[in-house]
Structure 1
Amino acid sequence: MKIPRFMIAGTHSGVGKTTITTGIMAALAEAGFNVQPYKVGPDYIDPTYHTMATGNKSRNLDAWILDEDTVKKVFLKSAPKADIAVVEGVMGVFDGSSGTVDLGSSAHIAKLIDCPVVLIVDVRSMARSAAALVAGFQNFDPDLKIAGVILNRIGSERHLKLVTEAIETYCSIPVVGHVKKNAGLELPSRHLGLVPTVEGGDLPKMVKSLAGQIIEGIDTERLVNIARNAAEIPDETAAYYIGALSSGIDHGRQNVRIGIALDEAFSFYYQDSLEALESKGAELVPFSPLHDQALPGEIDGMYIGGGFPEIFIQELSQNSPLMKEIKLAGTQGMPVFAECGGLMYLSREIVDFDGNGYQMAGLVPGSCIMEKKLVGMGYVEAESLSDNILAPKGKKARGHEFHYSRIEPSKNSYFKYAYRLQRNRYREPVLDGYVDGNILASYVHHHFASDPELAERFVQNCNNFKKNRLRKCSDEN
């Protein structure tokens, strides 16, 4: 199977990966290519820029949360449908979950899907030394196929000539493009990274402008040639993974309707997680905690993902009719699953960076307090402390956390923690989240493709609630 593809990776974080990758994706899409985007790692926001640039849902390739087979399934599920697949790396190309192995790194993913790499190098204040830097990356892992280099922060035409000659002479790798220093190519950001595209504003215009500026200095034809020269994927390999995708789908299952919070405040969802729920029989029905006064009709469960509720805290707190309905549904037994921003929304209040409290839905008996430094960041393994709507007691699931708030249980309240977290970064166990029967809320972001049983159990719990709801309606009639 021929799948044209390349990865854009960097020597380090902050080298300009997302800006340049988004511009290249948009330029290829404008040139008429059907581009399928991907992001290495657990990031939610960068993929929204990919989707805006290409019109296709970006997918996460994370070799720590997902096993290697699942990474290949996720890639082969979507890549064959496009003209070209473009993968954005994470951090530096060799940075992953360890200092000694490449697990979870861009290099790991590139080798898993046999993908040529285009390396972005920040060459500000260097010339011939850039060749030494590229040679180091080239020789560090000979199995990684570095097929081209993009130079960022070029100061002048002479600077470009010096750096290009050095890299192409000593490394025998073509320089396929450059971005000038002070080019004004910068996407808006805040405390958790880039501003999500769901917030709209001038972001669509910015992405279009990026494409126009990027194409001036980058040879997209050479990038397309790199993609087309990527190794073929053996037909039997492709058939195995593509066939495995449909093996867990139960087409005879009774459908359930799950309300999913989706607006400017809540947008952090993995596309493959949503499709995992759908494959188990769920119809996902969007609603907006910001704008809707009521929940969608006849839903059997709720999924409130992550986002930026702290940015829209006042608007959320003013929509009391919806919060009252959410609390009533939860207390009446509807399965409610919330991640990070969703946990914050379900708490009794959010206390902002200035110490001001705003009332929230109140299904979780505690306050979420914003801190001015990161409280949790990185990969985690979550062990369920009791049976819940996703997993039985003792089951472990991999995920990640990234939050500036902490949960403080209310005084004199019954607060039952959901998970014992083993943090990959520091290894110390901590308690996290809240569980009470049909309610599960925590700071952990799950990826249902990593363990389809999580999606299976959630949908089954929603189905049980549906049966009870229909039985009750029948009895009343």
Structure 2
Amino acid sequence: MALVIAGERSGVGKTTVTLTLLASLCRRGSAVQSFKVGPDYIDPMFHSYVTGRACRNLDAVLTSEAYVQRCFAAHSQGCEYSLVEGVMGLFDGVKGVVSQEDCLINTDFASTAHVARLLDLPVLLVIDCSRLSGSVAAIAHGYCSFDSRINIAGVVLNRVGSDRHLSLLQDSLQALQLPILGVLRRQDNITIPDRHLGLVPTGEIPELDGVINRLADLGDTCFDWSKLFPLLKSPHSPLPTPHSPLPTPHSPIKIAVARDRAFNFYYQDNLDLLQNLGAELVFWSPLADGELPENVQGMYFGGGFPEVFASALAANRNTLQTVKTAILAGMPTIAECGGLMYLCEQIVDFEGQSWPMAGVLPTSAVMGGRLTLGYRRAVTLQDNFLVSAGTNIYGHEFHRSSLSVSPHQPLFETYRYDCAENMGTEGWAFPQNIYASYIHTHWGESIEIPKQFIKQCLRFVGGVGSRE
């Protein structure tokens, strides 16, 4: 079976342990499929960099419990090993919405524990031991006994300071008869830089190969592989039935997908759905390319860090004008978070400097210290080219910018996912061709969104300025 890497809380080193396992397995020539619990984009980038395979997000809020199971079953096929990195602490989740009346139960919904139960997988618990000795047993015992449905197969002791420290930890855990499957000493030569929204993405770390090689070296020696290998074997579940594609035109529908250092927050499942529905995805760079790709019929701007690269984006004036011209000509466009910021009149960075952007939306994206974070239930307030008014969409927000001007006719009324708290209105929509919002969405259980996008792209014939 596969294995879930969980932490006793955030910041204990789950990602380091996961990457260490992945790097060591891949060095051996193994085919490894990784997964990430939750809505995160950046950790999956590191997984994919190591494995050469797209990491898949497992999120029961953004999709469903059934989709989590189907996704895992589908993408574990053909791989020797499967590994799932958890999110936050093992039992940290949200209240689950279980009826149309919004009856709330189950405070660990969408948590690592929830996913482990859904997939019936054992858990490897990572414990930060930097400030622990004898108390490690109390922590481990609590996690093992809290939910009898969770099978904690063993622990990884992270940030162990010395042989003496390790001996104290081992002595404390001995009474529990809980296997110690890994020991990672404090590492000063293995660091991954971070900034205001988490880790710096892989494309911005020139020394990343060296870091991964050092992690592989560490993984070769710090784990009890004789006990880990049986846990990591992938299950052999039947593949789910794929979505049926729409009828495609004689030549493929071309959609320009912005992907570079400024825009790289995409769920691979969303990209796969567009391709399965008949689209040819043309990846391009708003940072480096002088214009849009030729003969595209739609644009998709994911999230990312446009504020970090605002100067370079602003300097590429021809591309900004080309994007604006295409949108004003009616090209269907989806823009999420960083993509929304790119379509604004300007981005105001953390230093207060303004940088001109595409100028499609009559507002500015202003960076600030306040973090907007959490799952959202968004109710569409007006018909648009993707969804009709009154539709519930489930998504996730994670940004430190805000808009200087709110839309007169907002796209969404938003609520916290796990309660009826109204978060206000947000999002811009031009009924025929623009869908722009801070809310990141996963289309795994919302296939009507990519279907409608493809249909609208079909109506935009011949590239910029030409319509049916």
Between the aligned partners of 1:185 and 1:24, the Cα distance in structure 2 is 14
Structure-1 residue corresponding to 2:429? 435
Note the C-alpha offset of 1:424.
2.8
Match for 1:132: what amino acid?
A: A
Between the aligned partners of 2:343 and 2:199, the Cα distance in structure 1 is 25
Q: Number of residues paired by the alignment?
A: 455
Structure-2 residue corresponding to 1:132? 138
After superposition, give the CA deviation of every residue in 1:375-423 in whole Å (9 maximum; x if it has no partner).
x10100111111123211111110100000001228xxx7431111112
Between the aligned partners of 2:175 and 2:308, the Cα distance in structure 1 is 49
Counterpart pick for 1:466 among 428, 450, 461: 461
Map 1:54-65 onto structure 2 (within 5 A): 54-65=51-62
- Secondary structure at the aligned position of 2:460 is classed as helix
Give the gaps of 5 or more residues in structure 1. Answer: none
Structure-2 residue corresponding to 1:162? 168
Between the aligned partners of 1:190 and 1:471, the Cα distance in structure 2 is 42
The answer on 1:36 being equivalent to 2:42 is no
Counterpart pick for 1:389 among 385, 389, 397: 385
Between the aligned partners of 1:112 and 1:472, the Cα distance in structure 2 is 47
Structure-2 residue corresponding to 1:401? 397
Cα RMSD for the two superposed structures: 1.9
After superposition, give the CA deviation of every residue in 1:446-467 in whole Å (9 maximum; x if it has no partner).
1011311111111111112238
Structure-2 residue corresponding to 1:123? 129
The answer on 1:377 being equivalent to 2:361 is no
- Secondary structure at the aligned position of 2:60 is classed as coil
Counterpart pick for 1:187 among 178, 192, 195: 192
Q: Is the 8 A contact 2:326 2:464 kept in 1?
A: no
- Secondary structure at the aligned position of 1:389 is classed as coil
After superposition, give the CA deviation of every residue in 1:85-125 in whole Å (9 maximum; x if it has no partner).
01100000100113953200001111111111100011223
Give the structure with the larger helix fraction.
1
Between the aligned partners of 1:40 and 1:418, the Cα distance in structure 2 is 28
Match for 1:386: what amino acid?
A: Q
Counterpart pick for 1:307 among 304, 308, 312: 304
Between the aligned partners of 1:388 and 1:300, the Cα distance in structure 2 is 18
Q: Is the 8 A contact 2:124 2:154 kept in 1?
A: yes
Between the aligned partners of 2:73 and 2:465, the Cα distance in structure 1 is 40
Q: Is the 8 A contact 1:256 1:466 kept in 2?
A: no
Identity of aligned residues (%): 40
Between the aligned partners of 1:424 and 1:103, the Cα distance in structure 2 is 11
Between the aligned partners of 2:206 and 2:401, the Cα distance in structure 1 is 26
Between the aligned partners of 1:349 and 1:450, the Cα distance in structure 2 is 34
Structure-2 residue corresponding to 1:205? 210
Between the aligned partners of 2:314 and 2:70, the Cα distance in structure 1 is 41
Structure-2 residue corresponding to 1:95? 92
Map 1:220-239 onto structure 2 (within 5 A): 220-228=225-233, 238-239=237-238
Bigger Cα displacement from structure 2, 52-61 vs 215-224 = 215-224
Between the aligned partners of 1:385 and 1:87, the Cα distance in structure 2 is 37
Give the gaps of 5 or more residues in structure 2. Answer: 96-104
The answer on 1:454 being equivalent to 2:460 is no
Counterpart pick for 1:217 among 214, 222, 225: 222
Call closer, same or farther: CA 1:195–1:253 in 2, change over 3 Å.
same
Note the C-alpha offset of 1:469.
7.6
Between the aligned partners of 1:32 and 1:268, the Cα distance in structure 2 is 28
Match for 2:214: what amino acid?
A: S
Structure-2 residue corresponding to 1:250? 245
- Secondary structure at the aligned position of 2:393 is classed as strand
Match for 1:68: what amino acid?
A: E
Map 1:73-112 onto structure 2 (within 5 A): 73-98=70-95, 100-112=106-118
Structure-1 residue corresponding to 2:100? none
Between the aligned partners of 2:10 and 2:150, the Cα distance in structure 1 is 19
Q: Is the 8 A contact 2:294 2:463 kept in 1?
A: no
Call closer, same or farther: CA 1:428–1:253 in 2, change over 3 Å.
same
Q: Is the 8 A contact 2:193 2:199 kept in 1?
A: yes
Note the C-alpha offset of 1:127.
2.0
Note the C-alpha offset of 1:251.
5.9
The answer on 1:295 being equivalent to 2:292 is yes
Structure-2 residue corresponding to 1:349? 346
Note the C-alpha offset of 1:471.
7.5
The answer on 1:49 being equivalent to 2:46 is yes
After superposition, give the CA deviation of every residue in 1:411-448 in whole Å (9 maximum; x if it has no partner).
xxx74311111123672231111111311111000101
Note the C-alpha offset of 1:50.
0.4
